[in-house]
Chains A and B, each alone.
Chain A
Amino acid sequence: GDSVTQMEGPVTLSEEAFLTINCTYTATGYPSLFWYVQYPGEGLQLLLKATKADDKGSNKGFEATYRKETTSFHLEKGSVQVSDSAVYFCALRGVQGAQKLVFGQGTRLTINP
């Protein structure tokens, strides 16, 4: 079945560092891909999405490009802030009318000032 694999955390960076969180997936066809973020004490929020190959999703300085050839959707940000500290989840929604989201295990990110 469909699955998502994220780089293991936790990840700790200094403020203004470059961020990459790796995400790869296994699915048939062309699933839709998502990054969700969970800030401390809050619910999951959609950060960005891409629905077809080579699409780039972007939001709040974060970007991720849908790479069909490598089945990847890596999350990047050029300069992180303390407020970016959260847990990040990569997810996919499969094809053929599938509605459920399949999530990776999450990556906890801590940014130190």
Chain B
Amino acid sequence: DTGVSQNPRHKITKRGQNVTFRCDPISEHNRLYWYRQTLGQGPEFLTYFQNEAQLEKSRLLSDRFSAERPKGSFSTLEIQRTEQGDSAMYLCASSFTSMYNEQFFGPGTRLTVL
């Protein structure tokens, strides 16, 4: 399977704990994006990387959130001191660098904070 993969698919944690999600993009893609989707809403952009460089971060990405893509391949998204409001589906997407670059989405990681 050459699609975008995300792990874990589901994560349940207690408020105040730290969590980390992983995204493996399509291997030839040099751009990687993170979005957050809450119930009944469309995805909201969080951040994106071109290779290992983080080029844009949304104001939604508070200080408790950090994303990395150390070797320009897989990426991790960490949430520190989780809050109930962090409960959402976290989506990863990847694309080529091109004028009309289509973003291919992974299945998402569903986070529930108790």
Please state if B44 and A103 are interface contacts (CB–CB under 8 Å).
yes
Answer whether residue B21 sits at the interface, using C-beta atoms and an 8 A cutoff.
no
Which residue on A lies nearest to B105, using beta carbons? A44
Please state if B105 and A99 are interface contacts (CB–CB under 8 Å).
no
Binds B, one of A11-19, A45-53, A70-78: A45-53
Please state if A46 and B42 are interface contacts (CB–CB under 8 Å).
no
From B44, B100, B107, contact of A49 by CB (8 A): B100
Please state if A100 and B45 are interface contacts (CB–CB under 8 Å).
yes
From A43, A51, A99, A106, contact of B42 by CB (8 A): A106
Min CB distance A43 to B, Å, is 4
Answer whether residue A21 sits at the interface, using C-beta atoms and an 8 A cutoff.
no
Q: Chain A interface mostly helix, strand, loop or mixed?
A: strand
Residues of B within 8 A of A105 (CB): 40-42
Complex CA–CA separation, A42 to B58 (angstroms): 25
Answer whether residue A24 sits at the interface, using C-beta atoms and an 8 A cutoff.
no
Min CB distance B45 to A, Å, is 4
Q: What is the 8 Å Cβ interface bit string for chain B, positions 88-114, against chain A (1 contact, 0 not)?
A: 000101000000111111111000000
Answer whether residue B74 sits at the interface, using C-beta atoms and an 8 A cutoff.
no
Answer whether residue A32 sits at the interface, using C-beta atoms and an 8 A cutoff.
yes
Given contacts A43-B108, A91-B42, A106-B42, contact A101 B100 (CB under 8 A): no
Within 60-88 of B, Cβ neighbours of A (below 8 Å) are at none
Residues of A within 8 A of B55 (CB): 99
Please state if B108 and A106 are interface contacts (CB–CB under 8 Å).
no
Answer whether residue A31 sits at the interface, using C-beta atoms and an 8 A cutoff.
no
Residues of A within 8 A of B31 (CB): 99
Residues of A within 8 A of B (CB): 4, 32, 36, 42-46, 49, 51, 89, 91, 99-106
The 3 A-B residue pairs with the shortest CB-CB distance, nearest first, are A103-B42, A100-B45, A44-B105
With A43-B4, A99-B55, A106-B40 already in contact, 20 other A-B pairs whose C-beta atoms are closer than 8 Å: A36-B105, A42-B107, A43-B91, A43-B105, A44-B91, A45-B105, A46-B103, A49-B100, A49-B102, A89-B42, A89-B43, A99-B31, A101-B35, A101-B45, A103-B42, A103-B44, A104-B42, A105-B42, A106-B41, A106-B42
